[in-house]
Amino acid sequence: MDAFDLVVAGGGNAGLCAALTARQAGARVIVLESAPRFLRGGNSRHTRNFRCAHPAPTDVLADSYGEDEFLADLNRATEHEADPALSRLLISRSAGCPDWMRQFGVRFQSSLRGTLHLGRTNVFFLGGGKALMNSYYAAAERAGIRVEYDAEVIGLEAPDGRFQAAVVRKQGETNGRTEKVSGRALVVAAGGFESNIEWLREAWGSAADNFIIRGTPYNTGRILRLMLDAGAERIGDPRQCHAIAVDARAPRFDGGIVTRLDSLPFGIVVNRHAERFYDEGEDVWPKRYAIWGRLIAAQPDQIAFSIVDAKASGTFMPSVFPPKAAGSIRELAGLLDLPADRLDATVAAFNRAVRPGTFNHAALDDCRTEGLTPPKSHWAQRIDTPPFWGYPLRPGITFTYLGLKVDESARVMMTNGVPAANIYAAGEIMAGNILRKGYIAGIGMTIGTVFGRIAGEGAARHAGR
Ligand X SMILES: Cc1cc2nc3c(=O)[nH]c(=O)nc-3n(C[C@H](O)[C@H](O)[C@H](O)COP(=O)(O)OP(=O)(O)OC[C@H]3O[C@@H](n4cnc5c(N)ncnc54)[C@H](O)[C@@H]3O)c2cc1C
The site for ligand X (CB under 6 A) is made up of 9-15, 32-35, 41-44, 46-50, 152-153, 189-191, 214-216, 218-220, 222-223, 256-257, 398-399, 427-428, 442-445, 448
Nearer Cβ to ligand X (43/381)? 43
Nearer Cβ to ligand X (10/265)? 10
Three-class secondary structure of residue 216 per DSSP: coil
Rounded alpha-carbon distances, angstroms, from residue 166 to 29, 34, 106, 179, 192: 14, 13, 30, 8, 19
336 membership: H or E segment, kind and range: helix 329-336
Nearer Cβ to ligand X (45/272)? 45
How far apart are the C-alpha atoms of 382 and 350, rounded to whole Å? 7
**Do the Cβ atoms of 241 and 400 come closer than 8 Å?**
yes
Work out how close the CB of 433 gets to ligand X at its nearest, in angstroms, rounded to a whole number.
13
Nearer Cβ to ligand X (369/398)? 398
How far apart are the C-alpha atoms of 243 and 247, rounded to whole Å? 13
Distance of CA 455 to the CA centre of its chain: 20
How far apart are the C-alpha atoms of 131 and 144, rounded to whole Å? 20
Work out how close the CB of 368 gets to ligand X at its nearest, in angstroms, rounded to a whole number.
31
How far apart are the C-alpha atoms of 465 and 461, rounded to whole Å? 5
Nearer Cβ to ligand X (235/274)? 235
Q: In the chain, how many H helices and how many E strands?
A: 12, 19
At 308, the amino acid letter reads: V
What backbone phi and psi angles, to 5 degrees, belong to 130?
Answer: -65, -45
Work out how close the CB of 444 gets to ligand X at its nearest, in angstroms, rounded to a whole number.
2
Other C-beta atoms closer than 10 Å to the C-beta of 363 total 11
Work out how close the CB of 372 gets to ligand X at its nearest, in angstroms, rounded to a whole number.
33
How far apart are the C-alpha atoms of 87 and 387, rounded to whole Å? 47
Nearer Cβ to ligand X (153/332)? 153
Nearer Cβ to ligand X (175/358)? 175
Work out how close the CB of 235 gets to ligand X at its nearest, in angstroms, rounded to a whole number.
15
**Do the Cβ atoms of 400 and 204 come closer than 8 Å?**
no
Which alpha helices (H) appear in 184-242, and where do they start and end? 197-204, 222-229
Work out how close the CB of 167 gets to ligand X at its nearest, in angstroms, rounded to a whole number.
10
167 membership: H or E segment, kind and range: strand 165-170
Nearer Cβ to ligand X (10/392)? 10
Work out how close the CB of 104 gets to ligand X at its nearest, in angstroms, rounded to a whole number.
15
Work out how close the CB of 195 gets to ligand X at its nearest, in angstroms, rounded to a whole number.
9
Work out how close the CB of 190 gets to ligand X at its nearest, in angstroms, rounded to a whole number.
4
Distance of CA 19 to the CA centre of its chain: 22
